Structure 1
């Protein structure tokens, strides 16, 4: 009931990597208080170069990944509390969920987006301003137990079969084990940010910062600490996490596409 109540408090604001403020409200509900049981979280707090991060791991052996924009034939959820309210019946299946890519004022994805095998948005190969168009950008996608991240150009040239899920965002942080060429070591732009990377073992590493940090520091965490060959920026300022095991349910600026990591039955 507490999750449903929180859903009603979703803020009616706008934005995607908004320029100012601590936009996300960190909500800690505690352990599964209603049942009195403790559930192991797939997320842990870590520190890198003085920045506090939360690192969540999805393993193909234990999890499946879906994208979620909103209820079927409904408007976008726009927040993790709204997602949690909509998933109340099967919430125990949720390992964690995060915001999953960039979007327009209505919460619709601005790039490639596939949900449960249905493509709702074509690959965006346009040039422009902003983080999304800081080329190369990329696509996080997968079917079954195989999850991948490719640059959008690589995806366009080499992926012919439609995946079960997919979301396009940008910029890439790590490409073939190297940092994005336009990302500086520790640039002036510092925000709460989150991203996803795929390790050589096929596991997906979702990272969200607990405070403001630069693109460069987040990218180095993926390259140097996690040693993933490819990592993709998901968004900034709006970055949010739902971790049912710890009771964390972030709320803040309206979101667009969401990535849900579920436990396998």
Structure 2
């Protein structure tokens, strides 16, 4: 290395450090998960797939705009389960008490069929539940439900198929039940294996948690510096609150 390169590097070093140090501090202080804790007893939380015209919301932006036109603000949202090539929910989907897709108890390949898989559902008394698919019982009290798999945490234990150090890493999102009855919605910021993702829910106190989907996952939080409103998927889970007046379209 000649003396001119040495001089150039010496001159650039303070500039590079000035750029890298704040970035490093930001990365260290950033949680590896995007999460939201919803109190379903006080906060509206529901599942969305199609609008009143039978059109899929498709993306978080599509849902956000539709809600805004009806006087509701989307507070937090993410995709809420796997879907088939026609973007229909894979497995059970209940919306406003109506069973749109039946419970799938068949055997098969892929994450959805990694038993036990499970069901996340909301009842008419404003309570959230997660259970293995084999334990789900249809009831008029079930207002909303989505089936997915695998279960992440079952009765406080990680799914038996998960292995620490697994190289199977993807962006992942899921839902868990906190001890106080709140719902924990979470998505990893970086690729993560099932073991570490499930451990996040267990460490948060969830005795039941369900995997929702992988690399297609997106999340949105109102007011956050970084949000994702794109995507093209099936069912969406959304937390809302009323606004002062609806936006007319």
What is the TM-score when the length of structure 2 is the normalising length?
A: 0.80
Residues of 2 paired with 1:60 and 1:249: CA distance?
A: 23
Structure 1's unaligned 5+ residue stretches are: 1-44
Structure 2 residue aligned with 1:57: 37
Structure 2 residue aligned with 1:146: 127
Question: Structure 1 residue 119: deviation in Å?
Answer: 1.1
| 1:89 paired to 2:58 | no
SS in 2 for 1:56: strand
Residues of 1 paired with 2:226 and 2:42: CA distance?
A: 21
1:164-195 Cα shifts (integer Å, max 9, x gaps):
11100000000000000111113111111100
SS in 2 for 1:164: strand
Which protein shows a greater Rg?
Answer: 2
| 1:206 paired to 2:185 | yes
1:210-235 Cα shifts (integer Å, max 9, x gaps):
111111101001112x1111000000
Stretch deviating more after TM superposition (90-99 or 147-156): 90-99
Residues of 1 paired with 2:95 and 2:30: CA distance?
A: 31
Report the CA distance shift for 1:91/1:244 in structure 2 as closer, same or farther (over 3 A): farther
| 1:109 paired to 2:93 | no
Structure 2 residue aligned with 1:132: 112
Count of paired positions: 214
Residues of 1 paired with 2:94 and 2:200: CA distance?
A: 28
Residues of 1 paired with 2:66 and 2:225: CA distance?
A: 16
Structure 2's unaligned 5+ residue stretches are: 1-28, 244-249
Structure 2 residue aligned with 1:169: 148
CA contact (8 A) 2:64 2:74 kept: no
Task: Say which structure is richer in helix.
Answer: 2
The answer to which structure, 1 or 2, has the higher relative contact order (CA under 8 A, 6+ apart) is 1
What is the TM-score when the length of structure 1 is the normalising length?
A: 0.75
Deviant stretches of 4+, over 6 Å: none
| 1:255 paired to 2:233 | yes
Structure 2 residue aligned with 1:246: 224
